[in-house]
Structure 1
Amino acid sequence: MGRLADGREIIYFDDVPGLDRSVPDPRSLPRPEPRSEVRYDPVLDDWVVIAAHRQIRTHLPTREECPLCPSRGGGTGEIPAADYHVVAFENRFPSLGGPAGGRCEVVCFTSDHHARFGALPAARLDTVMRAWTDRTRALSALPGVEYVFIFENQGAGIGATLQHPHGQIYAYPFVPATLARALESAERFRRREGGCLFCSMVAAEERAAVRVVAETERMIAFVPEAARWPFEVHVYPRRHVPDLEALDERERVELMMLYAEVLDRFDRLFDPRPPYVAHVVQAPVRRSREQAHLSLRVFTSQRAEDKLKFLAASESAAGAFINDVLPEDAARRLRDLGGTGARPRV
């Protein structure tokens, strides 16, 4: 672990041990002073983060100005090293921190500006998993953190402001409403039926088969029956586990292999590649951990070759999603794209 010029932490994770990443940050930067606030909405029983200072964050820079590329040839980006495998560091323009509490980190998956997550080699996928698990553990230990959210926005069409392959981690000082609602549903299911709501859903999708995209011995990927997005896939461990740290070694390998394959299929849905959001759903730090069931999810707002789904009145104002693509058709199309490692369900 090292420090950037303004005092933010930076942590390198390498595919192989013994690499020297002790490179000083030559920049002159003021210490960050996040001014975010967390405000409570009593009508919806939800929290809203106000982060007006982020208006000045870097927005769609050129390849030559990318702040996530290695600092080669005198470059002065966020990562001082001339090369790296995976690196995590505190966000320079965080949504959380300061009065709001919590913390925001960036995770870069590769030094290659033009790489795709779905094409990363197995060794790199293992390193990404180690980084995610390490940062979940470390951020969960911070005072006031209630939920660690790992995610990736890919493509300008979904709102990503940097094109270099990377994701982010938000350590929230609250449990986001969507997860809280899901865990309440899981608790009602446990009291009514016994067992895990998510395990029951996985078993039902496996029996139905028609929405299953691909699977391994320990993992399964499917389009949910009530998918909200045109193309949406959930990847679940078959075993009930609350978070990344609870996975055994073989489960980690299979989860990342299947997840990368799903992302690769999404990349090949349309030309050019569609934008997507991918994220990890895991247990909160302190509550409802027995109800939570780990999953990795990905969706795209692109519904056709030249059409995006916008969150218009029904979605944005009424909160009721309308999906233009039949989930069974979405699953079939993703299955037909084929993959390289997991077994397709036929």
Structure 2
Amino acid sequence: MLRLQQDSHRRLNSLTGEWVLVSPHRTSRPWQGQTEAREEIAIPAYDPGCYLCPGNLRANGDRNPAYEDVFVFDNDYAALLPDTPREQTDEAGLIVAAGEPGRCRVVCFSPRHDLTLSRMPVASIEKVVALWRNEFMRLDADPLIGAVQIFENRGPMMGASNPHPHCQIWATHSEPNELMKESTRQRDHLGHRGSCLLCDYLALELEKGERIVCENDGFVALVPFWATWPFETMLLPRRHRGALDEFGADDIHALADILSGVTRAYDNLFSTPFPYSMGFHQRPSDGGAHPHWHFHGHFYPPLLRSATIRKFMVGFELLGSPQRDITAESAAERLRAAIKG
């Protein structure tokens, strides 16, 4: 009989159709690899040199208003531009390229330079979620846009160049790879079983309970059965929602509250500001009906054993498939305990 907490095995990611190798017996191996420097840097409430703080001059010469809660603007160095031509090139089906127009926005969560989601009151996070909803609706109505990706990179380990609490919104003309994979799997599940994949998955996880991190009336945070990163989590609304435009006031509050709980658990886990990449997946913005799509959030944090040891995707993981030692169940247990810490 397969022992999921002891034997090496593969787990299927039901959202993407990909597999992850789990090797729980390796958690006892000694670590002699790279450790990250742990820096405790005092961050001021206001930084006169920060291009995101209220009233400051940005790199492109614009000056931020003296904003008092949330603030959004077009990215000064956008990866996507709306006037990019859509022409394609194709050489024998082997050298293929297509122009990709789009729009990029930056969202400041707070005028305070020293805050993070984990330290913000839920009421302040609600303003962030409400702004995400408004931005999604505006971009969703733009005929240029086919998909809207909201994401946050927290910490220098994840490439964040500025500690000011903020996230980005990249709105693309085409559907990105991860959304395409998830869309296919969710559509197939609805077609074959007549029900929503993530509604069914959430019901199963709630029944088992072993991978639940925290929950409220509207959302559940859990470590997915197929998690790749050591302390990866997924946020799922209890009610079927395809995108942020379907959120009411209760949904906005529930998402803000669950974001607060998860980010506090991360910071408590190793008693350090926990780095991560976080983002939300929702239905495409192509004007079509997508009843199979279930809104959800992903947290991908890199820390492995402590505040100074991170997980690297190398070797077999780059050439074969992702691998993890800590099981999803033990990760969820540790995160649950961290919330209470």
Displacement of 1:119:
2.0
Displacement of 1:144:
2.2
Q: Distance in 2 between matches of 1:335 and 1:123?
A: 23
Equivalent residue, structure 2, for 1:291 = 292
Q: Which amino acid in structure 2 is aligned with residue 213 of structure 1?
A: V
User: What is the SS of the residue equivalent to 1:231?
Assistant: coil
Kindly indicate whether the alpha-carbon contact (under 8 Å) linking 1:183 and 1:292 is maintained by their aligned counterparts in 2: yes
Equivalent residue, structure 2, for 1:70 = 54
User: What is the SS of the residue equivalent to 1:167?
Assistant: strand
Q: Which amino acid in structure 1 is aligned with residue 167 of structure 2?
A: G
Equivalent residue, structure 2, for 1:322 = 323
Equivalent residue, structure 1, for 2:310 = 308
Displacement of 1:339:
5.2
Displacement of 1:268:
1.7
Equivalent residue, structure 2, for 1:27 = none
Deviation per CA, 1:53-99, whole angstroms, max 9, x where unpaired? xxxxxxxxx9442111112xxx4235522342100100001111141
Identity across the alignment (%)? 30
Equivalent residue, structure 1, for 2:125 = 125
Q: Which amino acid in structure 2 is aligned with residue 265 of structure 1?
A: A
Q: Distance in 2 between matches of 1:322 and 1:228?
A: 7
Choose between structure 1 and 2 for higher RCO, CA contacts under 8 A separated by at least 6 residues.
2
Number of residue pairs matched by the alignment: 276
Equivalent residue, structure 1, for 2:70 = 86
TM-score w.r.t. length of structure 1? 0.76
**How large is the RMSD of aligned CA atoms in angstroms?**
1.9
Matches within 5 A, 1:1-346: 63-71=47-55, 75-77=56-58, 79-97=63-81, 98-99=83-84, 100-286=100-286, 287=288, 289-305=290-306, 306-318=308-320, 320-338=321-339
Q: Distance in 2 between matches of 1:330 and 1:102?
A: 37
User: What is the SS of the residue equivalent to 1:230?
Assistant: coil
TM-score w.r.t. length of structure 2? 0.77
Q: Which moved more, 1:308-317 or 1:294-303?
A: 308-317
Kindly indicate whether the alpha-carbon contact (under 8 Å) linking 2:122 and 2:260 is maintained by their aligned counterparts in 1: no
Deviation per CA, 1:227-266, whole angstroms, max 9, x where unpaired? 0111111111111110111122212211210122111111
Kindly indicate whether the alpha-carbon contact (under 8 Å) linking 1:303 and 1:324 is maintained by their aligned counterparts in 2: no
Q: Which amino acid in structure 1 is aligned with residue 304 of structure 2?
A: R
Gaps of 5+ in 1: 1-61, 341-346
Displacement of 1:218:
2.3
Kindly indicate whether the alpha-carbon contact (under 8 Å) linking 1:155 and 1:275 is maintained by their aligned counterparts in 2: yes
Q: Distance in 1 between matches of 2:296 and 2:70?
A: 22
Are residues 145 and 332 of structure 1, via their aligned partners in 2, closer, same or farther at CA, if it must alter by over 3 Å? same
Q: Distance in 2 between matches of 1:143 and 1:321?
A: 37
Q: Distance in 1 between matches of 2:65 and 2:206?
A: 46
Equivalent residue, structure 2, for 1:40 = none
